Amino acid sequence: ANYRDDRITGIRIGTMPNSQIAIYDKRREVIDKKKFYWWEIWKENAEKAGIQLCNQSPIWRFEFRAGKSFIGKTYFRKTWEAFAANPSLVFEKIAAQTRLTTPQVDNNRARWPSAPVWAKCQTSLAKITFRDFVTIDTEAIKAALWSEYLQTLSAQNAGLIISQMAAYALERSDIPAMLSQLSLDVEDILEKDQDGTLLATRRAGMKARYAR
């Protein structure tokens, strides 16, 4: 189990390459690792399901992982064709051998019913086919990634400028002079770019990565 202060943020059951179940606070991960594009995906799917979602909504991710050893035991051979013919089978088996249950007075825990959220997982896993796909607004995701990239650049630039000011023992009142010098430095770099391809090359790289 993983903890943050006195709160569990995730648990992992099993090991690869056998089978493994991971349940963790995806919202916390998105915030910590700044993967803000996930909000666009969640909001779109939530709207389709009629669910109200905000930045404070708890979001727990359930992952059912099948390693090559478990696939071999399930299909009696480790081939893509065997898995592709019935992909739900291996995940149904994982969700059946380890369950989240609702406690009962019965001392035999094997007879306890699956918790509602687990039953929902089992139902969804049983419906997995190779034709399953998630429809999301790719343009919204691209826009979110681009916005995130620009914010990162701005934060990095500001941080570097502050570090440079500290190195030169400058004060807040020296910001205009500092920015003026940086402007001259940039002009000098572009002047030395004899074939004039520096900006174009950078733009091409950004366009290839962010489709802008």
The pLDDT value recorded for residue 131 is: 64
Residue 48's H or E segment, with its range, is helix 37-48
Considering only residues 30 and 154, tell me which one the structure prediction assigns the higher pLDDT.
154
- Please name the residues in contact with 61: beta carbons below 8 A apart, sequence gap of 6 or more: 22, 23, 24, 25, 26
Give the pLDDT confidence of 175-201 residue by residue, as tens digits: 999 999 999 999 999 999 989 899 999
Q: Say if CB 22 and CB 65 are below 8 A apart.
A: yes
Query: If you average pLDDT over residues 79-100, what whole number do you get?
Result: 88
19-25 and 7-14: which strand pairing? antiparallel
Q: Say if CB 98 and CB 13 are below 8 A apart.
A: yes
